[in-house]
Amino acid sequence: MLDLQQIRKSSRDEVGDLIRARYPLIYVVSHEEVRVEQSLKRLCIEREMRMEVWSITQGFRVLANGSGDRDVKDPMKSLDHVQRGEADQKAIYVLRDFHPFLKEPSIVRKLRDLATELRSTRKSLLLLSPVQKLPPEMEKSVAAVVDWELPTRREIEKIARSLIPQAPPATQEQIRTDPTFIERVVEAALGLTAVEAENVFAKSMVRTHTFDLETILGEKKQIIRKSGMLEYYEHREEFSDIGGLEVIKDWLVKRRHAFSSRARTFGLPLPKGILLIGVPGTGKSLTAKAVGALWEMPLLRLDVGKIFAGLVGSSEENIRTVIRTAEAVAPAVLWIDEIEKGFSGTRSSGATDGGTTSRVFGSFITWLQEKESPVFVIATANDVSALPPELLRKGRFDEIFFCDLPSGEERRQILDIHIRKKQRDPSKFDLDKMIAATPEYSGAEIEQAVIAALYDAFDSGDDLSTDGLLNSLAEIVPLAVTMRERIEGMREWARTRARLASASSKGQSAATAGKKSWLARHGASIAGGDDGNGHSDGGGKSNGESEANSGNPRKLEL
């Protein structure tokens, strides 16, 4: 069973509810055994439950409400011990690392019998393990799976504060006088386990005699990278690098403070995410990359392919790790590039991989729809036909944007950006000629031509010129020519299902693509960091502003 909704609530409350609801068998996934057990112990003390913890090396030890350790190391006998425990006494039995024994049919059988029996007692059995390895016959019926959350801000802060007495006086003084200092340290360490956080704090203290943000962030990036599926993307792209796509840009600018507590107090819902669909090379990935900088949030890039790269069976594990990490790092942007590539096998999944792809996909969209954490998802797709239709249903994304080939005005902006990037002055070039020569060119193709022209110029000893650019533009056969039908199909598809990413491509040039460039309208307010109130939304609200829908009713797990 793969239930990601459980991540939202504190894991301890979740387990508490499962116990009250008489779930006899609970499977907790966490690398942090000590942290989980301490938290469970507090729960047991509050609720007057006995707590016994078993491991193959130590047998049973009583951690709360009682005494009487038991030297039962044999896994089968440990289950007997649970069975013999007094039925009326409230108790949790925690079995550490029991997953290897779930390969044995007799153990599985015994667990299933026990689960049925425990239902009529006040005893609960909890398997605690760093990996989820449940045999299929138990997955469906027997166990509830809880992904134990990573440490919260408060927990991380406690760890950091515990090290302060050992810091040099100057550092202690700095922490005392700068109230935001610890806050930033904690922010930088979110997403680490308690042990990882403590380690990196200690390392930083030894090296720099303070909490060094660079060291902490560096460690976090490495750990995120180690997960193998997420990359902490260092953004180099700025919003001003994007030509055209006014409607998307306006949408994103308008929401750049949407994750602040001020926005919550104001009554705004958390933005969930957007899907950018469209012609290859039109700036979808570019836009995703630039959001991190605009919103000043970490940008995590998810490689969907890698979720499935391992052995079948661990993919479920992988998607949960991704979500758990993103939620711990939040507020964060989760960028899923070319989402169709990872999830295209969803429909045939039952036949090809025992349903793994569709299960993983299912838990992803459930999370997308129900998440209440400040993780903003930006997904991009080049191929509409490969997208599973469930992804497009209302309530998954706030908006679906369609990125068409750039209009003339948009190509002007794109040319301007790329010529400027090569340290040349765009006003020295005949942009009108180039615009006329490039109908149906994508932004990527224009960029490619600028680079090619620059090479030619360098080779012939000239400088970049209009003629040079026109020549290299003429050498490109735009994708639009070779994939005309596919693009037409996409446009047709988008007409009813998506919002156009740029107003001008819809022929509304007067409204947005007009005289003033996007930057002229927004540049000042971004730089000044003001609220960005008062600029109009460039496009029609064809797809409806769906913020109002995002307060989905919480689906109870129990």
CB of 498 to ligand ADP, least distance (A): 14
CB of 515 to ligand ADP, least distance (A): 19
Buried b (16+ CB within 10 A) or exposed e, 543-552: beebbeebee
**Residue 244 near residue 502 (C-beta atoms within 8 A):** yes
Q: Of 284, 324, 499, 506, which one interacts with ligand ADP (CB under 6 A)?
A: 284
CB of 200 to ligand ADP, least distance (A): 33
CB atoms within 10 A of CB 526: 16
Residue 212 or 445: which CB sits closer to ligand ADP? 445
Amino acid at 107: I
CB of 236 to ligand ADP, least distance (A): 10
Cα(109)–Cα(212) distance, integer angstroms: 52
CB of 109 to Mg ion, least distance (A): 50
CB of 412 to ligand ADP, least distance (A): 11
Question: What is the x/- site pattern for ligand ADP, positions 415-434, by CB under 6 A?
Answer: --x-----------------
Interface of this chain with Mg ion, residues 257 to 286, rule: CB under 5 A: 285
CB of 441 to ligand ADP, least distance (A): 10
* Nearest to 490, CA basis, from 378, 401, 398, 388: 401
Amino acid at 197: A
Interface of this chain with ligand ADP, residues 362 to 421, rule: CB under 6 A: 380, 382, 414, 417
- DSSP code for 492: H
By beta carbon distance, the residue nearest ligand ADP is: 443
Q: Of 59, 271, 283, 538, which one interacts with ligand ADP (CB under 6 A)?
A: 283
Q: According to the binding rule CB under 6 A, does residue 243 interact with ligand ADP?
A: yes
Looking from the CA of 462 toward its CB, the CA atoms found within 13 Å total: 11
Residue 97 or 383: which CB sits closer to ligand ADP? 383
Question: What is the x/- site pattern for ligand ADP, positions 157-186, by CB under 6 A?
Answer: ------------------------------
Amino acid at 172: Q
Count residues binding ligand ADP (CB under 6 A).
Answer: 19
Scanning 226-234, 235-243, 369-377, 433-441 for contacts with ligand ADP by CB under 6 A, the matching segment is 235-243
Query: Of Mg ion, ligand ADP, none, which one sits near residue 443, judging by CB under 5 to 8 A according to partner kind?
Result: ligand ADP
Q: Of 142, 384, 444, 513, which one interacts with ligand ADP (CB under 6 A)?
A: 444
Question: What is the x/- site pattern for ligand ADP, positions 286-325, by CB under 6 A?
Answer: x---------------------------------------
Residue 362 or 478: which CB sits closer to Mg ion? 478
CB atoms within 10 A of CB 105: 10
The string of DSSP letters for 42-58 reads HHHHHTT-EEEEEETTT
By beta carbon distance, the residue nearest Mg ion is: 285
**Residue 334 near residue 375 (C-beta atoms within 8 A):** yes
Interface of this chain with ligand ADP, residues 495 to 534, rule: CB under 6 A: none
Cα(342)–Cα(158) distance, integer angstroms: 39
Q: According to the binding rule CB under 6 A, does residue 281 interact with ligand ADP?
A: yes
CA 63-31-303 angle, 5° bins: 160
Strands 59-64 and 50-55: antiparallel
Residue 158 or 424: which CB sits closer to ligand ADP? 424
Query: Of Mg ion, ligand ADP, none, which one sits near residue 75, judging by CB under 5 to 8 A according to partner kind?
Result: none
Q: According to the binding rule CB under 6 A, does residue 478 interact with ligand ADP?
A: no
CB atoms within 10 A of CB 98: 23
Residue 371 or 522: which CB sits closer to ligand ADP? 522
* Nearest to 228, CA basis, from 163, 318, 141, 150: 318
Three-state DSSP state, 537: coil
Cα(28)–Cα(131) distance, integer angstroms: 9
Cα(382)–Cα(490) distance, integer angstroms: 9
Amino acid at 212: D
Report phi then psi at 544, rounded to 5.
80, 135
Q: Where do contacts with ligand ADP occur on this chain (CB under 6 A)?
A: 241-245, 280-286, 380, 382, 414, 417, 443-444, 447
